[in-house]
Amino acid sequence: MAQASGPYYDPSGPVPAPGGGGRGNSGAVTGLVLFAGVMMLVDGLLGVFQGIVAVAEDDVYVATPRYAFQFDLTSWGWIHIAVGAAVALVGFGVVSGAAWGRVLGIAVVSVSLMLNFLFLPYYPIWSLVVIALDAFVVWALCTYRDPV
């Protein structure tokens, strides 16, 4: 009986598709997930600081009259502290390589993105920066696939 041979023959397993069509992750994808985890840690800590500033000093942020999602700035501060702490904790899970961190990270960062959208009138430039970073983090966490 003739054995298969050629550039893609591996006697220990199935023949891979040309161009490496497997389900693994490239080094770039793995690096992006690590970067996303670090950005989650930083974003979470800065969210906590942003919340502390809103709780301590009400006159730092712009007061917007007649805004549909208007809360007292102290309330916004506590919301930022809670969401920032959650983002930082889940970011630690992403950096440590936990599968739950990536799944929960998508959910928590999506909440952070929506929160900063609602916070736009109070601190517009920073909110836009955080929205862009959160969108990147969600994208990076979604591109990672667990090996089969």
Query: What is the tens place of the pLDDT at every residue in 2-14?
Result: 555 545 444 555 5
* 112 in Cβ contact with 130 (< 8 Å): yes
* pLDDT grade for 121, boundaries at 50, 70 and 90: confident
Helix extents (H) in 1-148: 27-56, 73-95, 99-118, 124-143
Residue for token pair 């600081």:
49
Question: In angstroms, rounded to a whole number, what is the distance separating the alpha carbons of residues 34 and 25?
Answer: 13
- The pair of structure tokens assigned to 105 is 């990270």
12-64 pLDDT, tens digit per residue, is 555 444 444 445 555 445 678 888 999 999 999 999 999 998 888 766 676 66
Q: Model pTM?
A: 0.74
pLDDT value for 137 = 93
Question: In angstroms, rounded to a whole number, what is the distance separating the alpha carbons of residues 30 and 88?
Answer: 19
